[in-house]
Amino acid sequence: MQVCASCHGADGNSAGGAYPKLAGQHPEYLVKQLRDFKTQAGAKQPARNNAIMAGMAAALSDQDMINVAAYFAAQTPKPGYAHNKSTVALGQQIYRGGVADRGVPACASCHGPTGQGIPSQFPHLSGQWAEYSVAQLNAFAQGPGARNNNEAMHTIASRLSDNEIKAVADYIAGLR
């Protein structure tokens, strides 16, 4: 836990947007993500390509991953805040209604109206750092080589503009 805490915080509430908040995240989702940082048999690279996390995950057994995930899931997430008042309306529209003319579904359709997600399939998003969400949406938009572990998110993120990604990420940061 001390190794995890150095980036993600002892209580799973990281100190800044370079690292995600893990407090209150679904344990099944966390275990899946940890496994995705490991190169699986027959694969050339991990589904999530991150040198730091690949090294951390490589040292974890399946039971270690379950234990770490259970610990962070049991922690209380600290609320986040939207910071850009001028983009809140756009972020809310994308989160709640999507972008129909480009085939972008509402984020809420999978992540829920308050960003609580669905265990193992869709992560808890509410209160997540906007910087981290922007980075992940950009990685999904890049596709192969960046983040290969969710084809639906690759398609969705690739249909959003940079301004839309920033707006929805900021909205998510303040979502409750």
Domains, the chain: 2-73 (1.10.760.10), 85-174 (1.10.760.10)
53 is in an annotated binding site: yes
Q: What single DSSP character describes residue 6?
A: H
Closest CA relative to residue 127, chosen from 81, 165, 168: 81
107 is in an annotated binding site: yes
**Helical H segments across the chain, by residue range:** 2-8, 27-36, 51-58, 62-73, 88-97, 108-111, 130-142, 151-158, 162-174
pLDDT, residue 150, reads 87
The dihedral over CA atoms of 21, 33, 118, 116, expressed in degrees to the nearest 10, equals: 10
Give SS3 for 85: helix
154 is in an annotated binding site: no
pLDDT, residue 120, reads 73
8 is in an annotated binding site: yes
83 is in an annotated binding site: no
Mean pLDDT for all residues in the chain: 94
- Predicted structure pTM score: 0.94
Give SS3 for 147: strand
Token output for 47: 């589904």
Query: Rounded distance, CA 100 to CA 156, Å?
Result: 11
Taking the CA of residue 57 as centre, how many other CA atoms within 13 Å lie in the half-sphere pointing to its CB?
Answer: 22
65 is in an annotated binding site: no
56 is in an annotated binding site: no
Stronger pLDDT, 127 or 41, i.e. the higher one: 127
pLDDT band for 54, please (50, 70, 90 cuts).
very high
Query: Rounded distance, CA 153 to CA 139, Å?
Result: 10
Q: How far is CA 14 from CA 60, 63, 72, 149, in A?
A: 21, 23, 11, 23
| Contact by Cβ (8 Å): 98, 50 | no
pLDDT above 90 (res 2): no
